[in-house]
Amino acid sequence: IGERKKNIQGAASNIPKLFSEIRNWCKSNNLTWEELWNADRGKDYVAKLSPKAQGNLLELIYDKNIGIRGKQDTFQVYRARIGKKSDPDMVVAGNDTACCMPFGSGKNNVYMFNPLYAQMVVERLTNENKWRTAAQSVMSIDHKASTPTPDLMKAYLEEGQHLTDLVKPGDLEGLPSVTCDNIEPAKNEEGQRSQYLRDVYQKFFTQYLEEFADKLQVRKTEIPIGTGYTPAGLGFEEVTNTYIPQAPAGYSDNIHENCFIIKTGLSETEQKIEPLAPLCVRDAISVAVLEGKAYSDNTSLLESLHKMQNNLIGMSIANRHFNRPNLSFMYRDKNGTPRGYMLAFEGRKNNSSFVFIDDLASDRENPMTGGRLIKKFFDTYASEYGTDERPYLPIFTNARDTTSFPIIEHNAEKMAKAKGLKAKVVEVGTHYRGNDLMHDVVILIGKTQQQLDEQEKIMRLAFSSHEDDENEDEDYNSEE
């Protein structure tokens, strides 16, 4: 509405009418005109009002007959938001932009179920006062590698290549970046209107990282954006693309030689290194690299990146769904370099509950890694189990004859005793993987001999059947 005393020209279509309507709005919300008009405190007064009252004020300001919209034909109102996995608007965002990932497509399904990925949408307020999708981006968290992304992809697809050969040790040390695979505008938002997207993305991510980067432990200074299908001429800086997702999906638009970068102007995030942290989906690349180092002498023990990743996703979803404790951990050194991991979870075999140690591996450069992971696992197990709601469960694993099996034999009872518990190691079978003898081992845990005896009955019953359990993965590995 402007201000005559300061010679500020108003921008509304009908300034007197807008001024009158806003004064009426103030009265209906017990607010004086002077409070609203106050340059320093006005926004604070409005912030205390209900969302409905705030919305009514916005409707007046943007009214096409008396407000800003009526006079400025090019004026547009946008909002940007990152949706939850359960938000149906995010699941159908690909339909809105008519891109290659509509609802029900394989790509969209992968993004829905992989916890690393999220959907961001930019929406424009139409003349009918409805929000319409203007653009979308699939978001991930990416490491900045030392090798260009296209070269990494090409080498990974070659036979005999392993991530250990491709990802350098320093690539996993620093903080990762929140990344957009591209900026995919809806067809009716292309052309001149797509230029507005630059300002929306710049403002949104600057504010987003300022608030959440420390919690997410990601970089505040930049947002990489893939060039595939992103409109040209948005004015973002273009750099060599070396970004790889922490848990890669089967498809991405950020795979080209270069990518765009949004510079936020914020100071860098302080990295907080937790030596023993819960293992999660964000550790997928790190786990695959460590596995390659641990099993370099017996590649038959190697799992593929995507199988390891699916194990982490399945564990994460099952723990949340069944309210199970996290028993898996990643060990990092003081620089943040991953040195070892332990993948363990609660599950069932032939209708009996067990804790499965699926994998224990290190890069073999720090002899203390395995011991620290085992101690962390057992400390967590001892604190989470042993109640009426969650009784002690037998622990099952495949132990490598030359490495983890001797550790279990010599230390299981000692660790249990230190917690005031009893333990018994029972070998239920053996098999070979490559040249390695693997021991199928069950560790019985309890406070009394009676509890051990009861667990042993359950174990004998579970392992007496030679039928495959549909909920069991037979290839449990342990390497340290």
- Tell me what pLDDT residue 170 has: 85
Locate the DSSP E strands across 316-434.
329-332, 338-349, 352-362, 395-400, 422-433
Q: Are 243 and 149 in contact (CB under 8 A)?
A: yes
Of 39-53, 295-309, 340-354, the poorest mean pLDDT is in 295-309
Does residue 271 contact residue 174 with C-beta atoms inside 8 Å? Answer: yes
Q: How far apart are CA 254 and CA 184, in angstroms?
A: 12
| Cα of 415 vs its chain's centroid, Å | 34
Q: Is the pLDDT of residue 129 over 60?
A: yes
Q: In whole angstroms, what is the distance from residue 401 CA to residue 405 CA? A: 5
Instruction: Report the half-sphere exposure of 449 (CA within 13 A, side-chain side).
Output: 0
Answer yes or no: is pLDDT of 467 > 80: no
Closest Cα to residue 339, out of 274, 399, 247?
274
pLDDT at 472: 45
Instruction: Say which DSSP state 102 is in.
Output: -
* Nearest CA-CA partner of 57 in 72, 73, 71, 42: 42
Report whether pLDDT(470) > 50. no
- Measured at the CA of 456, the angle between CA 453 and CA 459, to 5 degrees, comes to 160
d(C-alpha 141, C-alpha 147), whole Å: 17
Mean pLDDT, residues 200-222: 96
Residue 296: per-residue pLDDT: 59
Q: Which amino acid is at 434?
A: G
pLDDT bin (cut points 50, 70, 90) of residue 315 is: very high
Given a cut of 90, whether residue 158 has pLDDT beyond it is: no
CB atoms within 10 A of CB 377: 21
Give the least confident one: 163-177, 229-243, 255-269, 387-401: 163-177
pLDDT interval class at 193 (50, 70, 90): confident
Sign of CA dihedral 253, 259, 264, 266: positive
Given pLDDT bands bounded at 50, 70 and 90, which one contains residue 155? confident
Neighbour-count burial for 44-67, b at 16+ CB within 10 Å, e otherwise: eeeeeeeeeeeeebeebbbbeebb
Q: What is the pLDDT of residue 116?
A: 92
Given a cut of 80, whether residue 167 has pLDDT beyond it is: yes
Report d(CA 477, CA 474) in Å as an integer: 9
Q: Stretch 173-190: mean pLDDT, rounded?
A: 92
Q: Are 163 and 285 in contact (CB under 8 A)?
A: yes
Average pLDDT value for residue range 326-342: 95
Find where tokens 């073999």 sit.
Answer: 364
Residue 209 has pLDDT above 70, yes or no: yes
Per the structure block, which two tokens stand in for 38? 């106050």
Q: Is the pLDDT of residue 72 over 90?
A: no
Residue 303's pLDDT band (cuts 50, 70, 90): low
pLDDT of residue 35: 92
Q: What is the pLDDT of residue 465?
A: 57
Residue 450 burial (CB count, 10 A): 9
Most confident of 110-114, 158-162, 395-399: 395-399
DSSP alpha helix (H) spans, 105-254: 106-113, 149-157, 163-166, 196-216
Question: Which residues are bridge partners to 44 per DSSP?
Answer: none
Q: Is pLDDT above 80 for 475?
A: no
Indicate whether 466 pLDDT > 90: no
Lowest mean pLDDT among 25-34, 164-173, 296-305: 296-305
Token look-up 């209107």 returns 193
Phi, psi of 449 (to 5 degrees): -65, -35
3-state DSSP call for residue 10?
A: coil
pTM of the model: 0.78
Distance from C-alpha of 196 to C-alpha of 183, rounded to nearest angstrom: 12
Averaged pLDDT score across all residues of the chain:
88
Is residue 128 pLDDT above 90, yes or no?
A: no
Nearest one of 315, 267, 296, 431 to 364, comparing CA atoms: 296
Residues 6+ apart with CB under 8 A from 98: 186, 187
Identify residue 11 by its one-letter amino acid code: A
State pLDDT tens for residues 79-99.
999 999 889 989 899 998 888
pLDDT at 469: 46
Residue 430 pLDDT = 94
Name the least confident of 56-60, 61-65, 277-281, 339-343: 61-65
Q: How far apart are the first and last CA of the chain?
A: 72
User: Rounded mean pLDDT of 320-335?
Assistant: 95
Place 10 in a pLDDT band, splitting at 50, 70 and 90: confident
- Check whether 426 has a pLDDT greater than 80: yes
pLDDT tens profile 219-277: 999 999 999 999 988 889 999 999 999 998 888 899 999 999 999 999 999 999 999 99
> pLDDT confidence of 307, banded at 50, 70, 90?
confident
In the numeric block, the tokens 């409805």 are attached to 130
Side-chain-side CA neighbours of 451 within 13 Å: the count stands at: 16
Type of residue at 343:
L
> Which strands make up the sheet holding 395-400, listed edge to edge?
276-278, 329-332, 338-349, 352-362, 395-400, 436-446, 422-433
Confidence band of 477 (pLDDT split at 50, 70, 90): very low
Burial class (CB in 10 A: 0-12, 13-18, 19+), 130: exposed
Percent over 90 (pLDDT), the chain: 59
Region 202-213 average pLDDT? 95
pLDDT at 74: 65
